[in-house]
Amino acid sequence: MNEIPVTHILFVSTGLFFIGMYGLFTRRNMISMLMSVELILNSVNINFVVFNKYLYPSRLDGIFFTIFIITIAAAEAAVAIAIIINLFRSHQSIDVDTASELRF
C-alpha cells in the first residue's frame, strides 16, 4: 500500500485549524467556541504526530507532546466549563456578547 503523502495530511490539519478558527470567531455560544478551540488543538496534534512519523520515525518526542496536549486540553475544558457555568449563573446566558462589561 502506498503511503499517504505528508502534504495530504497537512492539508487536513490546516483545514481543521481554520474550521476551528472560523468557529471561534463566528460562534457566540461559548460551548461552541470551546469546541472550536478543541478543533484547533487537534489540528496541532495531527501536525505533531505526522512530523514525528515522517521525519523521525525512530523517536517518540512528537507523540509525547500530543499526549501532553491532550492532557492539558482536558484540564482546560474543565476550567472553561467552570467559567461557562459561572457566566450562566451571573448572566442567565452563555452568549459571549452579553458578557462585555469589561470595556472602556
Partner 1 sequence: MVYAQYVPLIILLPLLSFVVLGFWGKKSLKPMAGMVGTTVLLVSCALACYTAYQYFTLNGAYQPVIAIQGTWLEFTPTLSIDMGILLDPASVMMLVVVTFISLMVHLYSMGYMKQEERKGIFFAYLSLFTFSMLGLVISTNIFQIYMFWELVGVSSFLLIGYYYDRPSAVAASKKAFIVTRFADLGFLIGILILGFQAGSLDFQTIIERVTNTNSEQYANLVGTHYLGISLLTWALVLIFMGGAGKSAMFPLHIWLPDAMEGPTPVSALIHAATMVVAGVYLVARLFPLYHLAEGAQNIVMLVGVTSAVFAAIIACTQTDFKRILAFSTMSQIGYMMFALGVSGYGGESGLGFSASLFHLFTHAFFKSLLFLAAGLVIHVAHTNNVFEMGGMRKYAPVAHATFLIACLAIAGIPPFAGFFSKEEILTAAMYYSSTVYVLALITSGLTAFYMFRLYFLVFWHKEASVHSHHSEGCLSQKLPLVLLAIASILAGFVPFSQYVSADNKPFHAELHLSQAIAPVAVALLGISIAFALYKKESSKSDQFARAMGSLYLGARKKFYIDELYLFVTQKVMFNLIGRPAAWIDRNIVDGMVNGMAAATAGFSSAIKGLQSGRVQQYALYFFGGILALALIFLYIWK
Q: Does 97 bind partner 1 (CB under 8 A)?
A: yes
HEC-encoded secondary structure of 43-93 = HHHHHHHHHHHHHCCCCCHHHHHHHHHHHHHHHHHHHHHHHHHHHHHHHCC
- Residue range at the interface with partner 1 (CB under 8 A); choices 1-9, 18-26, 58-66, 71-79: 18-26
Instruction: Decide whether 1 or 102 has the Cβ nearer to partner 1.
Output: 102
Instruction: Decide whether 25 or 58 has the Cβ nearer to partner 1.
Output: 25
Contact 62, 49 (CB under 8 A): yes
Residue with cell 457566540: 28
Nearest distance from C-beta of residue 30 to partner 1, angstroms = 9
Q: Does 79 bind partner 1 (CB under 8 A)?
A: no
Nearest distance from C-beta of residue 28 to partner 1, angstroms = 8
Angle at alpha carbon of residue 76, lines to 10 and 97, rounded to 5°: 90
One-letter identity of residue 29 = N
Contact set with partner 1 (CB under 8 A):
21, 24-25, 33, 96-97, 99-104
